């Protein structure tokens, strides 16, 4: 593993810190000795986080809207890095074209703020595997890795709003980062497995096609958080990193996965699918695996 960042650069910002990923990041970064600026749109959510972590001088709370440039600047002040993930406004569970536009504007605003903050050395941008896997030539047998981008026109045509928003937001962030000289890496995460996962998750639009294409991938929270911290601390990291630790491509896996999405209906769901085909995995996260090999 490459040398870690300078030990004096121990103050980082996590935005949005109120979500499952953000709050887990805050907790692990504090355990690793970082001072964390935890930023979220709803201050009340962060007070809950503060109670969970306890009284510590290493946690500072900021109410910050990614669409409010000055509130982002305030949260970043004095930090050497930003861990950024977009969380829809509270109560907004449906991803549509309007929400996609909002996510893109937020990404632009946050990266511009990073460019204007002299102390920022690195940005870890949370994106999605859905920004990689959707393209018009579905019959192509080409495997997917970090070099691939989802086709924006294809996503719009089939109303794959989650994929559209993640693709355009990440492209916007990369364009601005390169133009402003911001050192950025992205984590293109699979579907986050966990207690809150349900059939309503917007990532799952097109899940049957993902399954047959061998690209329906999931990641657990431990792996995802470790990946974020690893690509931050390793100074050799660059570009995009697909992140997942399970591929759903077997009938029994698919049936188990379906039951996890609809636990109340689990008894009526099949134990396996009639179609016994095992679909070849066609997506790779070898780039991240190589970086994480010696991560501690």
- Residues belonging to the active site: 166
Pairing mode of beta strands 191-192, 217-219: parallel
Pairing mode of beta strands 239-243, 246-247: unpaired
The backbone region for 69, taken as left when phi is positive above 0, alpha when psi lies in -120 to 50, beta otherwise, is alpha
Q: Measured in whole angstroms, how far is the alpha carbon of residue 165 from the centre of its chain?
A: 12
Instruction: Return the ∠ at Cα 29 (arms to 28 and 31), rounded to 5°.
Output: 65
Taking alpha carbons only, the member of 224, 215, 287 closest to residue 25 is: 224
Q: What are phi and psi of 81, to 5 degrees?
A: -155, 160
Q: Measured in whole angstroms, how far is the alpha carbon of residue 98 from the centre of its chain?
A: 20
Is the torsion defined by CA of 65, 66, 72, 75 positive or negative?
positive
Whether residue 67 contacts residue 102, with contact meaning beta carbons closer than 8 Å, is answered with: yes
Integer Cα distance of 256 and 227 in angstroms: 26
Q: Which helix (H) or strand (E) holds 179?
A: helix 161-180
């Amino acid at each position: 593993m490459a040398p870690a960042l300078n030990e004096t650069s121990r103050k980082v910002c996590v935005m949005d810190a109120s979500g499952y990923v953000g709050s887990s990041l805050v907790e692990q970064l504090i355990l690793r000795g970082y001072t964390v600026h935890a930023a979220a749109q709803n201050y009340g959510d962060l007070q809950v986080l503060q109670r969970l972590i306890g009284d510590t001088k290493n946690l500072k709370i900021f109410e910050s809207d990614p669409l409010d440039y000055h509130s982002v600047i305030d949260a970043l002040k004095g930090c050497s890095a930003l861990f950024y993930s977009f969380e829809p406004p509270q109560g907004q569970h449906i991803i549509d074209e309007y929400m996609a536009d909002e996510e893109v504007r937020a990404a632009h605003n946050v990266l511009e703020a990073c460019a204007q903050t002299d102390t920022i050395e690195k940005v870890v941008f949370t994106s999605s595997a859905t920004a990689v896997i959707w393209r018009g030539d579905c019959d192509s047998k080409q495997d997917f890795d970090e070099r691939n981008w989802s086709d924006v026109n294809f996503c719009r045509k089939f109303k794959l709003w989650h994929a559209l928003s993640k693709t355009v937001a990440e492209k916007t962030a990369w364009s601005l980062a390169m133009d402003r000289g911001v050192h950025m890496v992205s984590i293109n995460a699979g579907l986050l497995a966990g207690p809150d996962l349900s059939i309503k998750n917007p990532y799952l639009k097109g899940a049957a096609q993902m399954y047959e294409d061998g690209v329906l991938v999931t990641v657990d929270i431990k792996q995802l958080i470790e990946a974020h911290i690893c690509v931050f601390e390793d100074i050799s990291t660059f570009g995009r990193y697909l992140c997942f630790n399970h591929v759903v491509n077997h009938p029994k896996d698919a049936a188990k996965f379906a039951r996890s999405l609809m636990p109340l209906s689990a008894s009526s769901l099949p134990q396996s699918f009639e179609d016994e085909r095992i679909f070849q995995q066609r997506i790779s996260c070898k780039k991240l695996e190589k970086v994480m090999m010696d991560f501690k």
